[in-house]
Chains A and B, each alone.
Chain A
């Protein structure tokens, strides 16, 4: 105990990251908000920088991240015009759109009009100023305990993000697309978007969360998304990470599910030099279902790390986690999938799988599925595979005249197909499939 006390504060570089924004954060006069930020900062100080000795950080070193002097700043990006983001849009996608630039909402590019009654949508920054009571009980409720140091860092620097609140029974038919845009700045920038999605009983929505950049600049995104599903609520959530090839991407998705609610999340990881995604699911009441699909592509100069923590604390819930990875060049990936089934969580149905296609000798994946089951009447399974392209399949394609590299790409896309098909919005599916194809084409598949 005393040893930790001695080592403590100086070792935390994050204070400097926050210093730029600290005095300009909204709602500084709100006692409860300052208390939340302050408690989170204390937590950041108490936890310090994670080391490789901690299980959750064993495979992905933080050194490259800590070498950068990232700075969070509070100003809005005002100079963006619609044509600046044209190339980043998904052709044919009919969606409400919210654009954030460097972590701040850009009202001129955001359209969430025409939402049905019982739906509130807006920027966190604006809501803190106009209607803070809406947020008081909600902020930090799902991403509270057990969240790691970066989630605490996000809370300490909470500024802007997207807030979606659905009253019981409200349904948003069109998907809502949140585009996180990063722009290169003189100094490496830290953006800490903070999102809150709260679906009342029987409410339903579809969310598309995208991370994109203009140019290939160096920056760090550290986002937190809190999802709260009331009884029988339904949320479909697509998440596509296409950060700049030099970027650092840290994301925490924290989900709490009410009785009989359904959540389907599809996570696609394509970009960033260094990324870490935590998906944390907690079932609050019986009869809920959670499906988590994932696809990651990682090549030269990329490290991609996914951590799943699915906690079955109550009986009769089902979860399915299915992640697939394609690794090429010197790509590295980590899949750490943990499913916990408490003694009380009888009749749990949990299926965890992670399959990897390793296309080069120099690529590496560490996969660690963990099923921890304390109940005795459950249906649970887990499986992982790490393999190469099947030579027979390659020969079959080549014997039909398809050149070797194209045959390889076709098989990779086939491998990814199951996850791509989980993107049940066609414009999105087609867009992501093309992105995957484009990246495989650029990569020298050896």
Chain B
């Protein structure tokens, strides 16, 4: 599904990713953990095509296609989805209108017919039901004036609607209290399927109590220094990142 090899990326003059390797198979959930400044968010952004990063070496193939040469929208059309750490507020842009534009853009790029208003509303209702969400967020401008929890729920709802093949969740747990965290995690778990892979980027082990990963990777100083099963997360929680970084050095 996703194959990242020797990925190096700079922000300005500073090298943030220093040779990152990652293989993600269909249906797998990978957690990427690491201390602040280790390059976790940079990795998520580089994969999704955000401007401001310069890839200097390495490759990222998504189902055999070179991801790094594509525009952000083309990556989304292939089935990539980034759940933002800080979802952007778009005052004046209605959430329903936005969701419909996104879904139809993706459908159009795949040669599928656009959904009309009725079919789209039906689909939205169905997805809301699956995630146990109400429709109050849909009538408002995108993320505008939303609480932290509402913003994250809106991200998960978009994911449910756009049905990506690979979802990258960038610090989805940040700024959430335990109830909001549970709602978001439940949503993510509902969307797990053999055809959908996920990369869960997080600083804390806490999220992994709710979203059980198949693999856990530790990212430090721009590369993955340790990989393991979900027990690795528990070990990190207990001993902190210092332990593993010292071991790797």
- For residue A402, which residues in chain B have a CB less than 8 angstroms away from its CB? 73, 101-102, 105
Within 8 A of A (CB), among B95-125: 97-98, 101-103, 105-106, 109
- Say yes or no: A393-B73 contact (C-beta < 8 A), given A401-B162, A402-B102, A411-B93: no
**Partner of A399 from B49, B90, B98, B141 at Cβ < 8 Å:** B49
CB–CB A404/B73 < 8 A: yes
Contacts A414-B91, A418-B92: A406 and B76 contacting too (C-beta < 8 A)? no
Contact A399 B109 (CB under 8 A): no
Say yes or no: A391 contacts B105, CB within 8 Å: no
A401-B73 contact, Cβ under 8 Å, with A391-B51, A395-B50, A406-B105: yes
From A392, A397, A401, A407, B109 is in contact (CB under 8 Å) with A401
Chain A 373-414 interface 0/1 with B at a Cβ cutoff of 8 Å (1 = within): 000000000000000001111011111111110110011011
Contact code string A285-312 (vs B, CB < 8 Å = 1, else 0): 0000000000000000000000000000
Q: Is the CB of A404 within 8 A of B71?
A: yes
What is the CB-to-nearest-CB distance from A425 to chain B, in angstroms, rounded to a whole number?
Answer: 18
CA distance A401 to B159 in the complex (A): 12
Known: A395-B72, A404-B71. A413 touches B93 (CB 8 A): yes
Cβ of A396: which chain B residues have Cβ within 8 Å of it? Answer: 84, 87-88, 90
The answer to whether A406 and B92 touch (CB under 8 A), given A396-B87, A401-B77, is no
Sorting the interface of chain B by its residue count into under 10, 10 to 19, 20 to 34 or 35 or more gives 20 to 34
List chain B residues, Cβ under 8 A from A417: 91-93, 141
Check B109 against A400 for contact (C-beta < 8 Å): no
- Chain A residues contacting B101 (CB-CB under 8 Å) are 402, 406, 410
**Complex-state Cα separation, A391 to B50, whole angstroms:** 9
B156 at the interface (CB under 8 A from A): no
Name which of B84, B101, B103, B141 has the most chain A CB atoms within 10 A of its CB: B101
A residues 304-336 touching B (CB-CB < 8 Å)? none
- Cα–Cα, bound, A398→B97 (Å): 15
Is residue B82 contacting chain A, with contact meaning CB distance below 8 A?
Answer: yes
Over the window 180-207 of chain A, the binary record of Cβ atoms lying under 8 Å from chain B Cβ atoms (1 yes, 0 no) is 0000000000000000000000000000
Q: How far is the CB of B85 from chain A (nearest CB, A)?
A: 12
Interface of chain A: mostly helix, strand, loop or mixed: helix
Residue of A nearest to B87 (CB): A396
- Return B5 CB to nearest CB of chain A, in Å: 23
The answer to whether the Cβ of B158 comes within 8 Å of any Cβ in the partner chain is yes
| CB <8 Å contact, B88 and A415 | no
Q: Which residues of B contact A411 (CB under 8 A)?
A: 90, 93
Query: A445 to nearest B CB, angstroms?
Result: 15
Contact between B77 and A400, CB atoms less than 8 A apart: no
| Docked complex Cα distance between A392 and B87 (Å) | 10
Contact yes or no, A401 B92, CB < 8 A: no
Q: Considering the chains assembled together, what is the distance between the CA atoms of A410 and B93 in angstroms?
A: 7
CB of A399 within 8 A of CB of B48, answer: yes
Chain A residue numbers with a CB within 8 Å of B73 are 398-399, 401-404, 407
Q: Which residues of A contact B81 (CB under 8 A)?
A: 399
Say yes or no: B72 contacts A399, CB within 8 Å.
Answer: yes
CB-based nearest A residue for B107: A401
Chain A 33-51, CB within 8 Å of chain B: the 1/0 string?
Answer: 0000000000000000000
Q: Is the Cβ of A399 less than 8 Å from the Cβ of B51?
A: no
For B48, B72, B109, the residue with the greatest tally of chain A CB atoms inside 10 Å of its CB is B72
Contact B105 A410, beta carbon cutoff 8 Å: no
Is B76 a contact of A401 with CB atoms below 8 Å?
Answer: yes
Complex interface residues of chain A between 108 and 167 (CB less than 8 A to chain B)? none
Q: Kindly provide the distance from the CB of A435 to the nearest chain B CB, expressed in whole angstroms.
A: 17
Q: Nearest residue in A to B72 (C-beta to C-beta)?
A: A398
Distance from A146 Cβ to chain B, minimum over Cβ atoms (Å): 36
Which residues of A lie under 8 Å from residue B92 when comparing CB positions? 413-418
Contacts A395-B72, A398-B76, A402-B102 given: A414-B158 contact, CB under 8 Å?
A: no
A398 and B106 in contact (CB under 8 A), knowing A392-B88, A410-B93?
no
A410-438 vs B, CB cutoff 8 Å, 1 = contact: the mask equals: 11011111100000000000000000000
- Least CB distance from B76 to A in Å reads 4
B144 nearest CB neighbor, chain A only: A414
Alpha-carbon distance between A392 and B76 when the two chains are bound, in angstroms: 16
Q: In whole angstroms, how far apart are the Cα atoms of A411 and B89 in the complex?
A: 11
With both chains docked as a complex, state the minimum distance between the C-beta of B229 and any C-beta of chain A, in angstroms: 30
Measured CB to CB, the closest approach of chain B to A411, in angstroms, equals 7
* Contacting residue for B102 out of A392, A393, A395, A400, CB 8 A: A400
Q: Which residue of B lies closest to A395 (CB)?
A: B50
Closest to A410 in B: B93
Chain B minimum-CB-distance residue to A396: B88
Q: Which 3 A-B pairs have the closest CB atoms?
A: A417-B92, A414-B92, A401-B76
A-B contact pairs, 15 of them (CB 8 A): A393-B88, A398-B49, A399-B48, A399-B49, A399-B75, A401-B102, A401-B105, A402-B101, A403-B105, A406-B101, A410-B93, A413-B92, A413-B93, A414-B91, A417-B92
6 new A-B contacts, CB < 8 A, other than A398-B76, A410-B101, are: A390-B88, A392-B88, A393-B88, A395-B72, A398-B71, A417-B93
